[in-house]
C-alpha cells in the first residue's frame, strides 16, 4: 500500500490485491477452518510465533486479515485484530492490560451496554471501573491510582452524540503513563483518527458505520504501535515472559506490533471471540463506500437537527453540530468534517409522547442498531439503557423523554417529513 493514498483510495485498496491463484479482484471468502502446513518444521515455526502465517481460523484467516490491514490503514495504526462484536473488541482491548484488582477510568457518557459491561460484567474478572466526566480533566487526573491501567472513552458518544476532546484526554493519559482506548464507532476514521490525536488503541463495532448496511456483527481493536509497554511494570502480559510461549516477551519480540500479536496469539486463542470470514467480506465491501456514506450521513444529520431545534414540540436537541451545543466548539476543532449522525432529542409530553413518536414513525426503522444506511430510531430509556438506574440514564443522555436518532442517507426532506407527522401524532 502507498503511504500517499487518500482516504477513499485506501478504503478500497488497502489490504486487497487480485487473488494470485484465480485473479479474483474482490477479496475471496476463505471459508475454511484450517490450513495445510508445508511440513512439520513449518507448523512448529507457526505455533512458536517464529513465522507469520495461517494455522486455524480461530486465530487467523486471509479474509479477516485483509480487513484488519484495511482498518489499520484507515485509522493510521500499526496493526489490528478483528473479533466477533464491538463488545468483544472492548474485552479484547482490556485483556492484555488488566488483572485482578486493577481498574480503568471510563467516561460517564458511554453506550448503556458498555456501562453495564464495565460496571457489572468485568467485576467478575476482578477488574474495577471509575466513571468520570472527561470534560473535567482535573477529575480525570484525580481518579487515577496505582492500580489504574487504562482510560476509555467514545469519540462521539451513544446515545447523545456528545463529543470527546481526544487530544486533551490523550495528554492527561500520557502524563499518567496510561494507554487511552477510544471507541471510534460513531465517528469512524472518516471524521476523526484518534491515534493521530494521541490514542493508544481504537475499538469499533463493525456492526455500525464501517459495514453500513445492517448485515454484520463484528468488532476490531486497532493498535497504534506507539505505547511503550516496557516503560513500567504495569503491563506484564506484554513486557514480561509469557509461559505459554517458552518465556517469549511480546514487546521485546514484536516491538510496535506487540499488542496486535498478543491479541491474536493469546486473546483469540483463549477467548475465542473470532470474526467469521463472511462477515469480514461484507465489511470489506462496506468500507469501499465509507467516505461517500459518512458525508451524506453528516449532511443529513445537520439538516434534521436544525429542523428539530426550531420545532416548538421539541424541548432540546443534543447534536454537537448545532451552534447552541456546549460541545460545538470542541466538535468544530476535533471533528471538522462534522459531528456524526447520531443524536437525541427530547419531546414535549415526556415518556408517553416519546414512545408514541417511535410508534408513529414510518420511514424510520425501530431497531436496536445504529450506523445503517437507513434512518433508525429507538427510545433508549426503555431499551438499550433500561438496565441503568434513573440517574445513570440521565447522565448517559437517555432520559424518559429522549428519543435517539441514527440519521441515514435517504433524502433529508423525507426524513424530516416523517418526523413531522410522527411529532404531530405524539404531541396531539
- Give the HSE-up count for residue 166: Cα atoms under 13 Å, Cβ half-sphere: 31
Region 35-53: what's the mean pLDDT?
A: 94
Contact 80, 260 (CB under 8 A): yes
Higher-confidence residue of 107 and 388: namely 107
Domains of the chain with bracketed CATH: 7-286 (3.40.640.10), 290-426 (3.90.1150.10)
Grid cell, residue 123, equals 467485576
Cα separation of 396 and 381, whole Å? 10
Cα separation of 422 and 417, whole Å? 9
Element (H, E) at 74: helix 62-75
Burial class (CB in 10 A: 0-12, 13-18, 19+), 402: buried
Contact 293, 300 (CB under 8 A): no
pLDDT single digits (tens) 250-308 = 999 999 999 999 999 999 999 999 999 999 999 999 999 999 999 999 999 999 999 99
Q: Is residue 4 pLDDT above 50, yes or no?
A: yes
pLDDT-derived band at 381 (thresholds 50, 70, 90) equals: confident
Produce one character per residue of 342-365: b if its CB has 16 or more CB atoms within 10 Å, e if not. Answer: bbbbbbebeeebbbbbbebbebbb
Q: Is residue 2 pLDDT above 60, yes or no?
A: no
Cα separation of 187 and 297, whole Å? 11
pLDDT-derived band at 397 (thresholds 50, 70, 90) equals: confident
Burial class (CB in 10 A: 0-12, 13-18, 19+), 20: exposed
Contact 348, 314 (CB under 8 A): yes
Categorise residue 48: left if φ over 0, alpha if ψ from -120 to 50, beta otherwise.
Answer: alpha
Q: What's the pLDDT at 179?
A: 98
Contact 103, 148 (CB under 8 A): yes
How much is the pTM?
A: 0.94
pLDDT-derived band at 1 (thresholds 50, 70, 90) equals: very low
pLDDT-derived band at 333 (thresholds 50, 70, 90) equals: very high
pLDDT-derived band at 19 (thresholds 50, 70, 90) equals: confident
Residue at grid coordinates 485509522:
75
Element (H, E) at 116: helix 112-119
Grid cell, residue 101, equals 484488582
Contact 202, 178 (CB under 8 A): no
Q: Is residue 384 pLDDT above 80, yes or no?
A: no
Q: What's the pLDDT at 3?
A: 63
DSSP H helical ranges for 185-233: 188-191
pLDDT-derived band at 160 (thresholds 50, 70, 90) equals: confident
Produce one character per residue of 226-235: b if its CB has 16 or more CB atoms within 10 Å, e if not. Answer: ebebeeeebb
Contact 220, 89 (CB under 8 A): yes
Q: Is residue 36 pLDDT above 90, yes or no?
A: yes
Mean pLDDT, all residues of the chain: 95
Q: Is residue 80 pLDDT above 50, yes or no?
A: yes
Report the 10 Å Cβ neighbour count for 394.
15
Cα separation of 79 and 257, whole Å? 6
Pick from 280, 94, 99, 107: nearest CA to 200: 94
Amino acid at each position: 500500500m502507498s503511504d500517499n493514498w487518500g482516504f477513499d483510495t485506501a478504503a478500497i485498496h488497502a489490504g486487497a490485491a487480485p487473488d494470485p491463484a484465480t485473479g479474483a479482484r474482490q477479496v475471496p471468502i476463505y471459508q475454511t477452518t484450517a490450513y495445510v502446513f508445508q511440513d512439520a518444521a513449518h507448523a512448529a515455526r507457526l505455533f512458536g510465533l517464529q513465522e507469520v502465517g495461517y494455522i486455524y481460523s480461530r486465530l487467523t484467516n486471509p479474509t479477516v486479515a485483509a480487513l484488519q490491514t484495511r482498518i489499520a490503514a484507515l485509522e493510521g495504526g500499526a496493526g489490528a485484530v478483528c473479533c466477533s462484536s464491538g463488545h468483544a473488541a472492548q474485552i479484547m482491548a482490556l485483556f492484555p492490560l488488566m488483572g485482578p484488582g486493577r481498574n480503568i477510568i471510563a467516561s460517564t457518557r458511554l453506550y448503556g451496554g458498555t456501562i453495564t459491561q464495565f460496571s457489572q460484567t468485568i467485576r467478575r474478572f476482578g477488574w474495577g471501573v471509575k466513571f468520570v466526566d472527561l470534560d473535567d480533566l482535573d477529575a480525570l487526573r484525580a481518579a487515577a491510582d496505582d492500580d489504574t491501567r487504562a482510560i476509555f472513552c467514545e469519540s462521539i458518544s451513544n446515545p447523545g452524540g456528545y463529543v470527546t476532546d481526544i487530544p486533551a484526554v490523550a495528554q492527561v493519559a500520557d502524563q499518567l503513563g496510561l494507554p487511552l482506548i477510544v471507541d471510534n464507532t460513531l465517528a469512524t476514521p472518516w471524521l476523526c483518527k484518534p491515534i493521530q490525536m494521541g490514542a493508544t488503541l481504537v475499538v469499533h463495532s463493525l456492526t455500525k458505520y464501517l459495514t453500513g448496511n445492517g448485515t454484520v456483527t463484528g468488532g476490531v481493536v486497532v493498535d497504534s504501535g506507539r505505547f511503550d509497554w516496557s516503560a513500567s511494570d504495569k503491563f506484564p502480559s506484554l513486557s514480561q515472559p509469557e509461559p505459554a510461549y517458552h518465556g517469549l516477551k511480546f514487546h521485546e519480540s514484536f516491538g510496535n506490533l506487540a499488542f496486535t500479536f498478543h491479541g491474536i496469539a493469546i486473546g483469540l486463542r483463549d477467548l475465542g471471540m473470532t470474526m467469521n470470514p463472511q462477515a469480514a467480506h461484507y465489511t470489506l465491501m462496506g468500507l469501499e463506500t465509507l467516505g461517500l456514506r459518512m458525508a451524506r450521513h453528516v449532511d443529513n444529520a445537520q439538516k434534521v437537527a436544525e429542523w428539530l431545534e426550531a420545532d416548538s414540540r421539541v424541548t432540546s436537541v443534543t447534536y454537537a453540530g448545532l451552534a447552541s451545543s456546549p460541545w460545538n466548539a470542541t466538535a468544530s476543532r476535533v471533528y471538522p468534517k462534522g459531528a456524526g449522525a447520531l443524536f437525541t432529542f427530547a419531546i414535549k409530553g415526556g415518556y408517553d409522547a416519546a414512545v408514541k413518536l417511535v410508534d408513529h414513525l414510518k420511514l424510520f426503522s425501530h431497531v436496536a442498531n445504529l450506523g445503517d444506511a437507513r434512518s433508525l430510531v429507538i427510545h433508549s430509556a426503555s431499551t438499550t439503557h433500561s438496565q441503568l438506574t434513573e440517574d445513570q440514564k440521565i447522565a448517559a443522555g437517555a432520559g424518559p423523554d429522549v428519543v435517539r436518532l441514527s440519521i441515514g442517507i435517504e433524502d433529508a426532506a423525507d426524513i424530516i417529513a416523517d418526523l413531522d407527522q410522527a411529532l404531530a401524532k405524539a404531541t396531539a
